[in-house]
Structure 1
C-alpha cells in the first residue's frame, strides 16, 4: 500500500504543497500498478513456483550467469535443429511421394504443441521447472529417434508431432526460467538475447541440412541432434537440482508430503491437469483443420466418409469442450478469468492473427523458392529464414527500448504499418520474374513487424499478473499462436492440395497430363525438368498462381492487428510498484 505522508505543525505551506504533490504522484503510480493487474496478486505460491523462488534466493551472481549461459546453449542447439529439420521436411515428405501433405505434418503438431503448454504450465507450477524441462526433453528425444527410423509418412507425422510438442515445451520452459531470473523491465532484453542463436542457425542450419542430404541422409541428421540436445540440457538440470538442495539445506525450501496413495495421486493429477479438456480442445482443432489438407487425397474429395466424420466430430468437440469446462471440470484447462482482461485478449488475438497471416503463405515458400527460382537447400533456407533472422536481431534492441521508455503499447503500434507493408508487397512480388533479393526484403519487413508484436505482446500479458500466473498466461498466449499457425497452415494446405495439382494438369501438354499426379507429389520430380520445357513451364505457372492467392489471403488478416492492439492498457513497466521475482535476479 502507499505509505502515508505525516505533516507536522512546523512544516511550511511550500513544503506541505511539495509533499502533497509527491503523495499524488505516488498514488497515481499505485493506481496505475493496480490497473495493470487482471486479478488480485497471489499471496500463495504453488510448489514449483516456491521452489524456483527459493533457488533464486540461494544462488550467487556467478551461478545466475552460469544458468543464463547454459540456457543459451540449449536455445542454440534447439534453434539449429529447427532450421535443419525445416530445410529437410519438403524432401522427407517427397521421399514418401506426399509433398502435398507438408502442412498436415505441421497442423497436427502445432495444435498439440500449443494446447499442451497449459498442461505443461501446471506441471512446472506444481512439480517444478526442472521436472517439466526433463519431461519435454524426453518427448523430444523420442520424437527425433522416431523421425530417424520412420518408414512411412504416417510414422513421420507421428514422430514430428512428438518432436514438435517437445520442442515447443522445451522452449516454453526456458522462457519461464528466464522470467523467473529477470525483473519485468529487463525481461524482454534477456528473452531477446536468448533468441539470438537463431541468427547463427539461419545461416548454419540450411547448410548443415544440405550436407546431410548430399552426403548421408535425413536420418543421420536427427540422430546426431539427439546426442547434442541431451548434452546441452543435462547441465541445466544438474545446476538447478544442486541449487535446490542448497535451498533445502539453508531452510529456504522445505519438502511437503501430500499424504496421497499412488492411485489418489493419479486421480488428483488427472483432474489437476484437466486431461479431458486438453483432449477435447486438441481433437476439436485437429479434426476441423486436418481435412482441409487431406480432402484432395480422399476417394470422393470432401464427400469421402472419413472426411465428413472428422469435420462432424471436430465441430461437436467445440461445444463439448465449453460444456465440460463450464459445468463439469473441477479445474479449468483454460483460465477464463484471464481472458476478461482487455490487454490479455488483445495480446493473444494479435499473436494468433499474426501467425495465421504468415503461415497462410509461408508453409510452402521454401518449396516455391527451390522449384521456381532454382535455389538450392542452403540459399532457399537463407531467404526463408531472413524473416526470423530479423526478429532475432531486433528483439534485444526492442527490449532495451522498452527498458528505457517503459512503454509497450505505443511501441507495438509501430509494427502494424511495417507488417502491413511487408505482407502487401508479397502480392506484386510473388512472380517467377521477381529477383530473390526483393523476396528477401519482404521477408525482412514482415519479420520486423512480427518482432515488435511478439516482444510487446509477451511483456503486455506478463505485466498483468503476479509471479504465480506468469507460466499460465504465457501458455495461453502460446496456445493462441499455435491455433493461428494451425489455421494458417490448414488454409495453405487446402489451397495447395485443391489448386496446385489441377493447375499443373491444366497447364501440361496433352502428352504429359498423365504425369500430373506424380509431379505434384514430389518436389524432386518438379525440379528435374529442364528450363524451357513444357513441363517446367506448367509447374512454375501453377506454383506462381497458388502462391499469389496464398499471400492475398495472408494480407486480408493484417488489418485485424490494429483492432487487437487498440484495447491494450498503456502501462509503464518502469513505474510498476509490484515485482514478480525474488532473490538474486537481473
Structure 2
C-alpha cells in the first residue's frame, strides 16, 4: 500500500495543523468573523464541498486513517444487513402468498433509489456529507422497522423502497466521502477495500438469515441488525462534526448565512428541483411496472390500467425533459455531463451491466432452493459467488489501476469474460445440471462485472472536477438503478407471464387447481420432495422460464462493447494536478 503524502497542511498532529494554517494563510484570506458564505458564493464550489475540503485541511494522518477504518466497519455491517435481507426476501413475500411479486417490489425501489441519489448529491454538496450520512441511516431505520412489523405485502413493498433508498444513499455517501479524501490513482483501491467485508458477509449473511428464520423469525433479524448498523455509524458522524467544528474555530470554514424557516424551505425546494425528481421517478416506475403486473387476474396488455400506466410514464419523462429545459431554475439532471463521451459511455455501460444481470438474477435464489433443493444459506452462497469474485479481485484490479492508470482496455478485456459466464448459464441452468457448474459461471460473471464496474466508475469520476464528483457518482448510480429496474421488469414480465402457465401445463391433471397457491409461495413449492410429480412439475416450470431469462440477458450484453468503445483512452495517473494540494491531507 502506498504511503500518504502529506500535502496542503503538512499535518502530523492537531497542534501542527493549527499552527500551519494560522501562520501560512495569506493575509488576504484571513477570515473575518463578520463575513458569511451566501448561497451565491457557493455557485462554483458549494458549501458541502467547502466543508469537506476544510475538514481535510485540519485533520491529521491519524484522523484520516481512523476514518478509513470506521468506514470499513460501516461497510461491513451494511453488507451483512443487505445479505440477510436478500436471503429472507423470498420468505417474507411468501408469508403473504405473494412470492411472484419479488421483482415488482424491487422495480419501484430501484428507480426511486437511483433518482434520490441525484437529490442526495445536491444535498451533500449544499449542506454537507454528515447530513447526508445521517439522512441515509434514518431511511434504513424506518424501512427496517416497517419490515419487522409489516402485516401485508403492501407495507413490505413500501418498506423495501425506504430500505433500498437508504442503502443506496449510504453507499453513495461513503463513496463520495472516499472520493473527497483520496486521489484518483488511489481511489479505487480504497473503494475495493471497503468492499472486502463482502468476502465475509457472503457466507455469514445467508447463514445468519437461515438461523433467524428457522429458530426465531425474519422480523427479529431486521430489528437486531438495524440497531447494530446505527451503533457502528455513530463514530463516523462524530468525527465529521468534530473536525467541521475545528475548521470553524480555526477560521478555515466560514459560517453560513442565516435564513428563516420559510426561506430555507423555498430554497431547498428550488435547489433539489422536487418537481423534476417526481416526474423522472414516476415516469420510469410507470413504464417498468406493467411488465410484472400484466399477468395478474385484473390486468392484461389490453386493460385500461396497463395502457394508462405506460402512457403516463412516457408523458412523465417527456414532461421532465420539458421542465428541465424551459422552467426549472436549478437543473435536477445536469445534461451537460452527458456531452463528454467518456462519461456517457461509462454510465451507459453501468446501465447495460445492471440490466443484463438482473434479467436472470432476480429469482436465482428461489431457483436454487426449489430446483436443486439447496438450503437458504447454501443457495445464497452459490448466488453470491458472483459478488464474492468481484470483491476478491477488486483490490488487485485497483492496484493495477494505481500503477498503470489505464481503464479503457481492461474494461474491454472483461466484456468477453462476462459474456462467456452468462452464455454458459444457458447450457448449465437446467434442472439436470450440477451446482458446481453454476458456481463456475457465477465466478466468471463476477470477475467480468467487477472489472467493468471499477473501470467505468473511475472513468466517470475522472471526467469531472472534484466539486462535481458527488453529482457524477449520483448520475452513475441513477443509470445503474434504472438498469436494474429494467432488468427486474423484464424478469418479472417473464416470470409472471410464463411460470403460471408452465406450472398449469406440467402439474398432474388432478393438481392443476393448485397452480395459484404453488406459484405464490416458495414454501409450497418445496413442500413436496424432489422426485414426486408435483415437485417435478415445479422444477420443469422453473427450468423453462429461467432458460429464457438467461437467453435474454446474454443477447443484450454486446451493447456493453459499444458503451466502452466510446471512452477516451485516459490515464488517471496523468490527470493528478495541484487539486490534491488544495484539498488538504488526502491519500
TM (norm. structure 1) is 0.92
SS at match of 1:414: helix
1:300 to partner: Cα distance:
4.3
Say yes or no: does 1:185 pair with 2:185: yes
Asked if structure 1 preserves the Cα contact closer than 8 Å seen for 2:371 and 2:431, the reply is: yes
Asked if structure 2 preserves the Cα contact closer than 8 Å seen for 1:93 and 1:102, the reply is: yes
Alpha-carbon distance in structure 2 between the residues aligned to 1:573 and 1:314: 39
Instruction: Give the match for residue 500 of structure 1.
Output: 499
SS at match of 2:251: coil
Task: Find runs of 4+ consecutive structure 1 residues off by over 3 angstroms.
Answer: none
Alpha-carbon distance in structure 1 between the residues aligned to 2:212 and 2:576: 53
Alpha-carbon distance in structure 1 between the residues aligned to 2:144 and 2:578: 39
1:312 to partner: Cα distance:
1.9
Asked if structure 2 preserves the Cα contact closer than 8 Å seen for 1:298 and 1:304, the reply is: no
Alpha-carbon distance in structure 2 between the residues aligned to 1:329 and 1:88: 42
The alpha-carbon distance between structure 1 residues 413 and 441, as it changes in their structure 2 partners (threshold 3 A), is same
SS at match of 1:301: coil
| Alignment deviations for residues 418-461 of structure 1 (CA, whole Å, 9 cap, x no partner) | 11111110101111111111100100100100101111011101
Asked if structure 1 preserves the Cα contact closer than 8 Å seen for 2:183 and 2:576, the reply is: no
Instruction: Give the match for residue 586 of structure 2.
Output: 585
Alpha-carbon distance in structure 2 between the residues aligned to 1:396 and 1:74: 18
RMSD of aligned alpha carbons: 1.1
1:508 to partner: Cα distance:
1.1
Asked if structure 2 preserves the Cα contact closer than 8 Å seen for 1:94 and 1:523, the reply is: yes
Instruction: Give the match for residue 254 of structure 2.
Output: 254
SS at match of 1:182: coil
Alpha-carbon distance in structure 2 between the residues aligned to 1:455 and 1:532: 44
| Alignment deviations for residues 525-581 of structure 1 (CA, whole Å, 9 cap, x no partner) | 000112222111111110000000000000011111110011101111111242554
Say yes or no: does 1:218 pair with 2:211: no
The count of residues paired between Structure 1 and Structure 2 equals 544
1:186 to partner: Cα distance:
0.3
Instruction: Give the match for residue 20 of structure 1.
Output: none
For 1:80-479, list aligned pairs within 5 A. Answer: 80-258=80-258, 260-479=259-478
Instruction: Give the match for residue 6 of structure 1.
Output: none
Instruction: Give the match for residue 24 of structure 1.
Output: none
The gaps in structure 1 that reach 5 residues or longer are 1-41
Alpha-carbon distance in structure 1 between the residues aligned to 2:165 and 2:150: 18
SS at match of 2:289: helix
Alpha-carbon distance in structure 2 between the residues aligned to 1:88 and 1:269: 38
Alpha-carbon distance in structure 2 between the residues aligned to 1:320 and 1:166: 27
The alpha-carbon distance between structure 1 residues 508 and 580, as it changes in their structure 2 partners (threshold 3 A), is farther
Asked if structure 2 preserves the Cα contact closer than 8 Å seen for 1:88 and 1:209, the reply is: yes
SS at match of 1:303: coil
SS at match of 1:528: coil
The alpha-carbon distance between structure 1 residues 441 and 93, as it changes in their structure 2 partners (threshold 3 A), is same
Instruction: Give the match for residue 566 of structure 2.
Output: 567
Instruction: Give the match for residue 46 of structure 2.
Output: 46
| Alignment deviations for residues 350-405 of structure 1 (CA, whole Å, 9 cap, x no partner) | 00000000000000000000000000000001000010011111111101001111
The alpha-carbon distance between structure 1 residues 43 and 410, as it changes in their structure 2 partners (threshold 3 A), is farther
Alpha-carbon distance in structure 2 between the residues aligned to 1:505 and 1:487: 27
Asked if structure 2 preserves the Cα contact closer than 8 Å seen for 1:183 and 1:579, the reply is: no
Alpha-carbon distance in structure 2 between the residues aligned to 1:410 and 1:552: 27
Alpha-carbon distance in structure 1 between the residues aligned to 2:490 and 2:81: 26
Asked if structure 2 preserves the Cα contact closer than 8 Å seen for 1:183 and 1:580, the reply is: no
The gaps in structure 2 that reach 5 residues or longer are 1-41
TM (norm. structure 2) is 0.91
Alpha-carbon distance in structure 1 between the residues aligned to 2:515 and 2:302: 22
SS at match of 2:294: helix
Deviates more, 1:148-157 or 1:305-314: 305-314
